[in-house]
Structure 1
Amino acid sequence: MSRLPVPTLPAPPVSVLGLGQLGGSLAAALAAAGRPVSGWDVDPAARDAAAAAGVRVSDRLEGVVVLAVPLPVLATALDGLELAEDATVTDLGSVKVPVQQALGARLGDRFVGGHPMCGTERSGHAAADPALFRGARWAVCLEPGTSPARWLRVAEVALAVGAEVVPVTAAEHDDAVAAISAVPHLLAAALAAAAADAGPLALSLGAGSFRDGTRVVGSDPAFVTALLEQNAGPVATALAAVQRQLARPWPELVADGHAARAAWAGPAGRRPVRVPLDRTALLAVGRAGGAVTGRLAAFVEGWVPDR
C-alpha cells in the first residue's frame, strides 16, 4: 500500500474568510498559537474584532484558505477574491457532500472538506472564542481524489488549535451528522413547539431536562434550515430511525436508551495508535470512533476506543 507523501516545507499561513463565531474563533486561536494568519469579512465590525485579537486583516487568500461562511454561499464565497494558485482550500460547513461536489468541481484536489464539531447556539463575531476548538473533533474529508499533502495541511490547522482530527469521507460525515446534529435540532424544535402549545403553566415548570433538550433551538433558524435541506436524504433516514424508536414500548425504549447513553458516556480507555499516512489506515481510525492527535514524520499518532 502506498504511503502518502510528507510535506517538508514550513507550515503555510492560514487565511480565514468569514470572521463570525467559527471563523473568528479559528483566526484568534491561530494568532494566539503563533501561526501566521489573516482574515477577511464583509462586516467591518468583524474585521475590527479579529484585528484586536492579533489577526492580520487582508482579503488576499493564501496558504491554507478556510471558508468560514454560511452553507448557502459556500459555493460562491471565492468569487471576486484573489486566491493564490498554490493555496489549499477547506471549509467549516456542517454538510459535506454538496460542498465537495461544488468546490471539488471548481478547485480539484486543492479542496479538502472539513467540519469542526463545536460551536454554540450563538453566532456572529461577538461569539468568537479562541478556546472553542480545544478538545473538539474536527472531521477532515479523505475522498479518493483528495491530495494527501493538502489533507495533511488542513489537519495541521485543526491540530494547531487543539482539536482532534477525524478522517472521514464526505458521505460518512453527512450520515453521521444527520443522526447526531440535524435530528437533535428537529427534536428540539418539536419539543419547544409542543411545550408552547401546552400553555404558560407547562413553560413555567420547565427545568433542566427541558432547557437542555431545547438549547439548540436557539440557533439561527436560517443556519439550521440550510443544515437540514442540504443534507435532506441522510436527515430523513436518521429521523425515520428515531421515529421507529419512539414507536417501541416505552419501558423498553427507556431502558435501551439509558443503557446506550451509559455505554457512550461512561469511562472508556483510549488505545494509542500510530498509523502510516495512507487513506485506508487513516479512515480506519475515524470509522473506529478514534481521532488523530499529532503527526510524527511519515506517521500520525492518535487513539481508538478501547472498551
Structure 2
Amino acid sequence: MADTAGPGAAPVGGAPSFPVPTMPAPPVGIVGLGQLGGSLAAALTAAGRQVSGWDVDPAARDAAAARGVRITREFSGVVVLAVPLPAMATALDGLVVDADATVTDLGSVKVPVLDALGPVLGRRFVGGHPMCGTERSGHGATDPQLFAGARWALCLERDTELPRWLRVAEVALAVGAEVVPVTAAEHDDAVAAISHVPHLLAAALAGAAAEAGPLALALAAGSFRDGTRVIGSDPAFVTAMVEGNARPTAAALERVRAQLSRPWPDLVATGHAVTTRAGDRRTVRVPLERAALLALGRAGGAVHRRLAAFVEGWVPGEG
C-alpha cells in the first residue's frame, strides 16, 4: 500500500501469509430469521449469494421463503447463528451441518459465545457482531439495507483459521458492511462503552423523566427521544446483553459516573470535542496476517475490500 496501517502493514506487492483460496463463494446458511438473520438473508439473496435458512417460527420461515431463501435443516459453507444469546449454545440442535462448515454468529457479546461454542466447534467458529439493528425485532423488521455501511466486528483469536475468517468477512462485505478485526475480549470491552452502557443510560433517563411527572413527559422532544430510543428494544434482549457482558459494562458505567462528577463546563466541552472530531480517513492495504489485521482494528479502522494477498481498508486520518 501507499500508506500503512501501523505494525504488520505492508506495501502492495508483498507476499500473502497463506495460499489464497480460489474456490467460488460458499453457500450461506442462516439459523434464525428475525430482524438480523432475515435482513442478512434478504441482502445476500439480493447480492446473488446462495442462501438457505431455518427458524423455529413458521411465520419467519414463510417470510424468508417469500424472499427467495431456501428453507432447510441442512447447512454447509458458512453457517450464521442469528439467534438470541440464551439460545446460542443450542441453536444447531436438530440441524445437520457439514463437518467442514465455518460457523459464525451475530451475538452482541463475544466472550460468552466463544466460551459456549468454542469447545464444540473449535477452529470452525469465528465470532462476529454487526453493529446495526433497531429497537424493532422479529421477521417483520427485516431490512435488506440494514448492514449497508455498518461496522461488523469479526473475531481473530489466536487459533482462528484465517481462511475461515476471510470467508465470514466476505459475507459481511457482500452486504455492504465494513469489517473490524478484533479479539472477543477487545470487542466486549468496546461495545460495553458504546452500546451496552447507552442502553442502561437510556433506561435510567426514561425512568428519571417518568419520576419528574406527566408535564416532563409531555414536553419531551428530540433530545429525550434520541436519548431513550434504544430502550424501546425487547427488555429480554437488553437484559441478556448487559448481563452477558457484566464486567466490562460495569467498568464502562464507572467511567461514565466519573465523567458526570467533572465540572459541567469541562464535561460538556469534552463531549462536544469527541462527537464533532474530524472524520478524515486514510486508505491502507493490510496483509492477510493476524497481527496486522488486529492492528488495523485497534487503530479504529475497518476493512472494506478483499484483494488477492491483502485487504483494503482505512484508518482515521491524523488531521
1:277 aligns with 2:288: yes
Given residue 167 of structure 1, which amino acid in structure 2 is its aligned partner? P
The 5 A counterparts of 1:74-93 are 74-93=88-107
Which is bigger in relative contact order (C-alpha 8 A, separation at least 6)?
Answer: 2
Alpha-carbon deviation of 1:262? 1.2
In structure 2, what is the Cα distance between the partners aligned to 1:253 and 1:270? 27
Percent of residue pairs identical: 76
**1:300 alignment partner in structure 2:** 311
1:116 aligns with 2:126: no
Given residue 124 of structure 1, which amino acid in structure 2 is its aligned partner? G
In structure 2, what is the Cα distance between the partners aligned to 1:38 and 1:4? 30
**2:246 alignment partner in structure 1:** 232
**2:53 alignment partner in structure 1:** 39
**2:42 alignment partner in structure 1:** 28
Structure 1 unpaired stretches of 5+: none
Alpha-carbon deviation of 1:5? 3.8
**1:150 alignment partner in structure 2:** 164
In structure 2, what is the Cα distance between the partners aligned to 1:296 and 1:195? 51
1:10 aligns with 2:24: yes
Q: Given the alignment, which residue of 190, 193, 198 partners 1:184?
A: 198
In structure 2, what is the Cα distance between the partners aligned to 1:212 and 1:147? 40
SS of the residue 1:15 aligns to: strand
Per-residue deviation, residues 83-128 of structure 1 (Å, max 9, x unmatched): 1111000000000001111111110000000000000000000000
In structure 2, what is the Cα distance between the partners aligned to 1:133 and 1:261? 22
In structure 2, what is the Cα distance between the partners aligned to 1:5 and 1:163? 25
Report the aligned-residue RMSD.
1.0
The 5 A counterparts of 1:162-173 are 162-173=176-187
In structure 1, what is the Cα distance between the partners aligned to 2:106 and 2:291? 23
Per-residue deviation, residues 204-259 of structure 1 (Å, max 9, x unmatched): 00000000000001000000001111100000000000000011111111111111
In structure 1, what is the Cα distance between the partners aligned to 2:191 and 2:18? 28
Structure 2 unpaired stretches of 5+: 1-7, 9-15
1:242 aligns with 2:253: no
Alpha-carbon deviation of 1:4? 3.7
In structure 1, what is the Cα distance between the partners aligned to 2:286 and 2:209? 49
In structure 1, what is the Cα distance between the partners aligned to 2:43 and 2:169? 15
Question: Measured at CA, do residues 4 and 168 of structure 1 come closer, stay the same or move farther in structure 2, by a change above 3 Å?
Answer: farther
In structure 1, what is the Cα distance between the partners aligned to 2:308 and 2:92? 33
Alpha-carbon deviation of 1:58? 1.0
**2:109 alignment partner in structure 1:** 95
Per-residue deviation, residues 7-62 of structure 1 (Å, max 9, x unmatched): 22111000000000000000010001000000110111101111111111111121
In structure 2, what is the Cα distance between the partners aligned to 1:198 and 1:252? 26
* Alignment: residue pair count: 304
Given residue 275 of structure 1, which amino acid in structure 2 is its aligned partner? V
Q: Which moved more, 1:153-162 or 1:54-63?
A: 54-63
Q: Is the 8 A contact 1:135 1:163 kept in 2?
A: yes
Q: Is the 8 A contact 1:182 1:228 kept in 2?
A: yes
Given residue 313 of structure 2, which amino acid in structure 1 is its aligned partner? G
- In the superposition, the TM-score normalised over structure 1's length comes to 0.97
Given residue 91 of structure 1, which amino acid in structure 2 is its aligned partner? D
Q: Is the 8 A contact 1:5 1:149 kept in 2?
A: no
SS of the residue 1:134 aligns to: coil
